[in-house]
């Protein structure tokens, strides 16, 4: 394996499948099978999951809701997704634990770094919910923070497209694909990979990001066995 411990960032939108909203049972079953595939290789896996398939805090103000309240609503949406993913992973015989950055009473246990590291060492998949536990910060930022705290060697960002393009390939047929980028290039070109805070943290701690299409079966395994899949963002200057 190229990487022994990884942080997988799953957007909520990936869970919608063909439905366009909510959780598509077929899609979450498929994603669980992809996670099972690398779990069986003995890779230690942490997952940060978004909530955009249910609610996004940035929509709050347009709907007449206070932005901070909207962000908390978005965090609760990640909890719904995380609990669902745990159940589908259980069906795939994957031992998973959900930990939350925000207190949710009896539903899941709170995130504690020491305990989380112990779970990883025991071979459990960790599902991190509620982002950083703070409004304004995105789940992308939460993903790189957890990667740093868990000493993950790479952040895998699962998307619906093959990697990073100069513009949305689902809208523009002439979108240009990048095989490799530096952190500086992502910031300079204002590419919508992750928010600037997340990219900066990865740059400062030299954590590579691999963006790949999770809808292509086996892609996650290919990435972790060294195949050139998707786009890698790292501390090497990209040459146009």
Q: Is 82 helix (H, G, I), strand (E, B) or coil?
A: helix
Q: Is 192 helix (H, G, I), strand (E, B) or coil?
A: coil
DSSP string, 123-182: TPEEEEESTTSSSS--HHHHHHHHHHHTT-S-EEEEESSSSEESS-TTT-TTPPEESEEE
CA dist list (Å): 171 to 102, 166, 180: 36, 12, 22
With a CB cutoff of 8 Å and minimum separation 6, the contacts of 132 are 101, 141, 142, 145
Q: How big is the chain by its Cα radius of gyration, in Å?
A: 17
Q: How many helices (H) and strands (E) does the chain have?
A: 7, 11
Within 13 Å of residue 6, how many CA atoms lie on the same side as its CB? 26
Average model confidence (pLDDT) across the chain: 93
CA dist list (Å): 79 to 48, 56, 107, 153, 218: 10, 13, 9, 25, 27
Model confidence pLDDT, tens digit, residues 4-48: 999 999 999 999 988 888 999 999 999 999 999 999 999 999 999
Which pLDDT score is estimated for 240?
41
Whole-number Å distance between alpha carbons of 230 and 219: 9
Which pLDDT score is estimated for 232?
96
Which pLDDT score is estimated for 184?
95
Which pLDDT score is estimated for 236?
59
Residue 105 confidence class, pLDDT cut points 50, 70, 90: confident
- Are 212 and 145 spatial neighbours (Cβ–Cβ below 8 Å)? no
Q: Hey, where are the domains in the chain?
A: 5-153
Torsion of CA 16, 19, 22, 25, to 10 degrees: -70
Residue 106 confidence class, pLDDT cut points 50, 70, 90: confident
Burial 183-201 (b: 16+ CB within 10 A, else e): bebbeeeebebbeeebbbb
| 18: phi then psi, degrees, rounded to nearest 5 | -85, -5
Q: Is 25 helix (H, G, I), strand (E, B) or coil?
A: helix
Which pLDDT score is estimated for 192?
85
| 162: phi then psi, degrees, rounded to nearest 5 | -75, -10
Model confidence pLDDT, tens digit, residues 45-104: 999 999 999 987 777 778 889 989 999 999 999 999 999 999 999 999 999 999 999 999
Q: What CATH architecture applies to the domain 5-153?
A: 3-Layer(aba) Sandwich (3.40)
């Amino acid at each position: 394996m190229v990487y022994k411990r990884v942080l997988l960032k799953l957007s909520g939108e990936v869970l919608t499948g063909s439905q366009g909203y909510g959780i598509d049972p077929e899609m979450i079953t498929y994603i669980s099978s992809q996670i099972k595939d690398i779990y069986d290789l003995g890779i230690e896996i942490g997952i940060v999951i978004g909530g955009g398939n249910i609610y996004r805090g940035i929509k709050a103000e347009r709907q007449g809701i206070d932005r901070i309240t909207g962000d908390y609503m978005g965090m609760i949406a990640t909890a719904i997704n995380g609990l669902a993913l745990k159940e589908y992973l259980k069906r795939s015989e994957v031992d998973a634990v959900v930990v939350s950055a925000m207190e949710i009473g009896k539903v899941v246990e709170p995130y504690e770094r020491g305990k989380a590291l112990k779970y990883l060492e025991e071979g459990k998949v960790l599902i991190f919910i509620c982002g950083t536990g703070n409004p304004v910060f995105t789940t992308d930022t939460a993903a790189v923070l957890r990667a740093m705290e868990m000493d993950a060697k790479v952040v895998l960002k699962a998307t619906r497209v093959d990697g990073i393009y100069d513009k949305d390939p689902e809208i523009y047929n002439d979108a240009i694909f990048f095989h490799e980028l530096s952190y500086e290039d992502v910031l300079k070109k204002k590419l919508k990979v992750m928010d600037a805070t997340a990219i900066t943290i990865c740059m400062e701690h030299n954590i590579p990001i691999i963006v790949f299409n999770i809808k292509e079966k086996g892609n996650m395994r290919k990435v972790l066995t060294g195949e050139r899949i998707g786009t890698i963002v790292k501390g090497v200057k990209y040459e146009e």
